[in-house]
Amino acid sequence: MKMIIFDMDGTLVNSGSSIANCINYVRSHLGLEPMDKNFILENVNDININSAEFFYNSKTFTPKVTELFEDFYSKNCLVDLHLYDGVKKLLDDLKGEFKFSVATNANSDYARKMLGHLEIDRYFNSILGYNDVSAPKPKPDMINRILDLNSIKKENAQLFGDSTKDTIAAFNAGVDGVLVNWGFSNHNEGAISNIDELRREIEKKFRL
Nearest alpha carbon to residue 29 among 60, 65, 57, 63: 65
* Residue 8: predicted pLDDT: 98
- Dump pLDDT digits (tens) for 151-205: 999 999 999 999 999 999 999 999 999 999 998 988 888 899 999 999 999 999 9
Q: What is the pTM of this model?
A: 0.94
- Calpha distance 66→44 (Å, rounded): 16
Dihedral sign of CA atoms 122, 91, 141, 18 in order:
negative
- Calpha distance 100→11 (Å, rounded): 14
The CA-CA-CA angle for residues 26, 28, 31, to 5°, reads 115
Pairing of strands 82-83, 13-14: antiparallel
**Residue 143 clears pLDDT 90, i.e. is over it:** yes
- Calpha distance 161→134 (Å, rounded): 20
- Calpha distance 201→180 (Å, rounded): 11
Long-range CB contacts for residues 89-97, cutoff 8 Å, separation at least 24: 89/195, 90/195, 90/198, 90/199, 91/120, 91/123, 93/199, 94/4, 94/202, 95/123, 97/2, 97/208
pLDDT grade, residue 54 (50/70/90)? Answer: very high
pLDDT grade, residue 108 (50/70/90)? Answer: very high
* Whether the Cβ atoms of residue 168 and residue 137 lie closer than 8 Å to each other: yes
- Range list of β-strands (E), the chain: 2-6, 13-14, 82-83, 98-103, 124-128, 157-161, 176-180, 191-192
**Residue 147 clears pLDDT 80, i.e. is over it:** yes
What mean pLDDT is predicted for residues 43-59?
94
Q: How far is CA 88 from CA 24, 120, 122, in A?
A: 31, 7, 11
**Residue 208 clears pLDDT 80, i.e. is over it:** no
